[in-house]
């Protein structure tokens, strides 16, 4: 393990933290790998799953944390409170675990309306009931006006890993198909439309939702799921790149199969954004051996959050991490990890 | 359970969140009880321990969360990173559990020096090694300049509850003595001196330390410990008031027995602060039946962090929550819970 007294990110490169260091792309990865993993590194952390899988006293559980700094705190289809519950529920679920307990840490900026806090708390209560998790411990800090931004919420969760499964970003295999449970990029576009004051004929709303029910129904029908991931910050492209990297595989996705709403395509054109890189908060990517694909698709389509589930791609080769997209017009292009910051504070 | 659509803190009282809502005193308690507990409330949360005690699959563990917003982030005797590890290690320990796993969530303000981040990370690594806990999962968010304050850190921890003990703020009994492991108020005064630019002949430093070793040695010698608490935000007075309230007992403490450094008394006079309300980050209050007091004191004094351990008070009556102080001159005064905000952002 590297233990140097000077910071391993060369000063000539960056002296200060940039917004892009939190964007989920290349700079985020550099920060995480060179600073955090290099020092904190251990067998649990190195996997870089959405959470850690821990075993002790004969119990195998998932443990995951996320801080929510979304701006604005109220947006079409949800608010920061419900997002904080659903997001952590989903991170536990994609570890192949049943979410059980959640902690909540509030950092509130002095001057926040108590009415706004109350609305956030009510929707956290509702979201936790919907996801059948218990909020069991918490903490509240208040910082001076101008030293925060209304409210930041950390949620950390514990879940019990389902028997007989082994899900990890390192497990993708040649022959796996990649399934998604519905339309992409709706959370990010809902937030951006709100920020930019865009109006659409059909109101676009965030897809924030707890995925544990859907995921449980999938795990019940197949033991051949290798990877699950919720493509949040950084979108579908970043999630696939991370999996390609950790599993050392080549992934191909088919543009024409990726579910996407016309309004989202329109908004992306106006805003100059690529929907592949835009955050989702109610979507899951499931990698499963081809032989179980139909069973899994059926189970997903029988769930309210999976009606539009589709196979969008495949793992095609071992040995070199790469994600390619077969476009609508039939050409193939490489889908990179995003390098900078497309959408700050999207979650 | 109360489920009203309007905020239960009357508008006539406060419309907005004040700094004092995060101060650990009366307003904090109002916020926690009327807003958080009223909505999230369940058997785990209602105890209002430093963490939740959870049992699943036959394993009993402690789960606790804290966000650290201390300002300045580097202070005499430590920094926000080491504080974030030690603080959560201590919150788990006072639940009567052995700390094992920790999650870390960073909220970084754009523009933070990478060198400062690096120093913080190094000291978190060192603190986690010292406390023998593993950092197993993490998250990083970056917010725009002016929307945060350098860095906020959430740590959430899991520990395994020791066999055969039952420690809770609800368990104090008449006949318990109250032991503290050393001098009070040094963390808060170290921070305040730094903020106010005060210089002392002897450098006052924060007492930040991991208490799990000390607490383990105490649990080994006595099963008659009823309550443990680390008197952080709000100090000794707030911790004792919380215990008096939850256990419904009258507590008496003796001013002349409370260990305190002369420099701290001096600084408190200059700053106009009452040391009983000032934060500690390496102190623990242990309530134990009188019959085991000597054994516990011996074990504590044999530990480097407990050399100056002393009995500072007693639980004297059941039935009415109250904390009184027998002063140096022999009079008795009531020690209230602090109502406002003595020291913002002390941890």
Residue B208 lies in a domain: yes
Give pLDDT, residue A2.
40
**In a shared domain, residues B272 and B230:** yes
Domain boundary residue among B130, B161, B192? B161
Domain boundary residue among B109, B133, B161? B161
**In a shared domain, residues B216 and B329:** yes
**Is residue B55 less than 8 Å (CB to CB) from chain A?**
no
Residue B341 lies in a domain: no
Task: Give the mutation candidate from A41, A42, A67 for the B interface (greatest B CB count, under 10 A).
Answer: A67
Instruction: Compute the Cα dihedral for B112, B117, B120, B124 and give only its sign.
Output: positive
**In a shared domain, residues B206 and B330:** yes
Give pLDDT, residue B46.
72
Both tokens of residue A268? Answer: 């992306």
Q: Residue B1: list chain A partners with CB under 8 A.
A: none
Beta-sheet strand order (sheet of A332-334): A225-229, A285-289, A176-180, A310-318, A249-254, A322-326, A332-334
**In a shared domain, residues A239 and A90:** no
How far A291 CA sits from the closest chain B CA (Å)? Answer: 33
Helix axes B114-130, B80-93, angle to 10 degrees: 30
**In a shared domain, residues A108 and A135:** yes
Give pLDDT, residue B222.
97
Residue A60 lies in a domain: yes
State whether B22 and A142 contact (CB < 8 Å): yes
**Is residue A340 less than 8 Å (CB to CB) from chain B?**
no
The three-class DSSP label of residue A115 is helix
Contact B105/B153 with Cβ under 8 angstroms? Answer: yes
**In a shared domain, residues A262 and A197:** yes
State whether B16 and A112 contact (CB < 8 Å): yes
The three-class DSSP label of residue B324 is strand
Q: Which ipTM score applies to this complex?
A: 0.94
Give pLDDT, residue B2.
40
Q: Which helix (H) or strand (E) holds B101?
A: strand B97-109
**Is residue B168 less than 8 Å (CB to CB) from chain A?**
no
Using CA atoms, how far residue B298 sits from B105, B131, B266, B294, in Å, is 38, 22, 31, 6
Q: Residue B104: list chain A partners with CB under 8 A.
A: 36, 40, 65
How far A201 CA sits from the closest chain B CA (Å)? Answer: 30
**Is residue A52 less than 8 Å (CB to CB) from chain B?**
yes
Task: Give the mutation candidate from A18, A41, A137 for the B interface (greatest B CB count, under 10 A).
Answer: A137
* Domains in chain A, number: 3
How far A62 CA sits from the closest chain B CA (Å)? Answer: 10
**In a shared domain, residues B23 and B86:** no
Which CATH number do you get for residue A218? 3.90.650.10
Task: Give the mutation candidate from A63, A142, A144 for the B interface (greatest B CB count, under 10 A).
Answer: A142
Separation of alpha carbons B196 and B270, rounded Å: 11
Give pLDDT, residue B22.
87
**In a shared domain, residues A75 and A215:** no
**In a shared domain, residues B180 and B329:** yes
**Is residue A344 less than 8 Å (CB to CB) from chain B?**
yes
**Is residue B47 less than 8 Å (CB to CB) from chain A?**
no
* Closest listed residue to residue A316, CA positions, set A279, A282, A287, A277: A287
Structural domain boundaries enclosing B10 = 1-41
Which residue positions in chain B have pLDDT lower than 70? 1-12, 200-202, 340-342
**Is residue B265 less than 8 Å (CB to CB) from chain A?**
no
Residue B339 lies in a domain: no
Give pLDDT, residue B6.
65
Give the B window 209-228 contacts with A, CB below 8 Å: none
Using CA atoms, how far residue B79 sits from A91, B117, B127, B207, in Å, is 30, 11, 11, 11
**Is residue B122 less than 8 Å (CB to CB) from chain A?**
yes
Please list the pLDDT of chain A residue by residue as tens digits (347 residues).
Answer: 344 456 666 554 789 999 989 888 888 888 888 899 889 988 888 777 778 999 988 899 999 999 999 999 999 999 999 999 999 999 999 999 999 999 999 999 999 999 999 999 999 999 999 999 999 999 999 999 999 999 999 999 999 999 999 999 999 999 999 999 999 999 999 999 888 887 766 679 999 999 999 999 999 999 999 999 999 999 999 999 999 999 999 999 999 999 999 999 999 998 889 999 999 999 999 999 999 999 999 999 999 999 999 999 999 999 999 999 999 999 999 999 877 666 889 99
State whether B160 and A64 contact (CB < 8 Å): no
**In a shared domain, residues B154 and B250:** no
Cβ-based contacts under 8 A for chains A and B: 292
**In a shared domain, residues B30 and B53:** no
Closest Cβ–Cβ partner in A101, A138, A141 for B22: A141
Predicted model pTM: 0.95
């Amino acid at each position: 393990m590297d233990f140097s007294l000077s910071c391993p990110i060369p000063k000539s490169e960056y002296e200060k933290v940039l917004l892009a260091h939190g964007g989920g792309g290349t700079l985020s990865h550099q920060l995480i790998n060179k600073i955090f993993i290099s020092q904190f590194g251990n067998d649990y952390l190195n996997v870089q799953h959405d959470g850690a899988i821990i075993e002790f006293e004969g119990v195998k559980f998932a443990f995951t944390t996320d801080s929510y700094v979304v701006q604005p705190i109220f947006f079409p289809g949800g608010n920061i409170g419900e997002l904080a519950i659903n997001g952590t529920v989903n991170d536990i679920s994609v570890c192949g675990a049943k979410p059980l307990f959640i902690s909540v840490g509030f950092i509130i900026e002095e001057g926040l309306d108590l009415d706004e806090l109350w609305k956030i708390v009510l929707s956290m209560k509702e979201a936790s009931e919907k996801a059948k998790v218990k909020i069991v411990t918490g903490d509240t800090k208040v910082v001076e006006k101008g030293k925060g931004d209304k409210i930041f919420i950390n949620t950390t969760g514990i879940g019990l890993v389902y028997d007989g499964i082994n899900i990890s970003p390192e497990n993708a295999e040649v022959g796996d198909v990649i399934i998604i449970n519905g339309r992409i990029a709706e959370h990010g576009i809902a937030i951006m439309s709100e920020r930019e004051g865009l109006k659409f004929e059909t109101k676009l709303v965030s897809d924030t939702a707890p995925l544990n029910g859907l995921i449980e129904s999938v795990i019940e029908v197949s033991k051949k799921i290798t990877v699950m991931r919720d493509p949040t910050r950084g979108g579908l492209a970043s999630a696939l790149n991370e999996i390609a990297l950790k599993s050392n595989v080549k992934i191909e996705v088919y543009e024409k199969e990726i579910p996407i709403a016309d309004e989202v395509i329109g908004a992306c054109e106006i805003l100059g954004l690529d929907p592949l890189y835009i955050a989702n908060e109610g979507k899951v990517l499931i990698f499963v051996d081809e032989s179980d694909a139909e069973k899994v698709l059926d189970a997903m389509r029988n769930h309210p959050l999976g009606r539009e589930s589709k196979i969008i791609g495949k793992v095609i080769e071992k040995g070199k991490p790469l994600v390619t997209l077969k476009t609508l017009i039939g050409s193939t292009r490489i889908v990179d990890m995003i390098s900078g910051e497309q959408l700050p504070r999207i979650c």
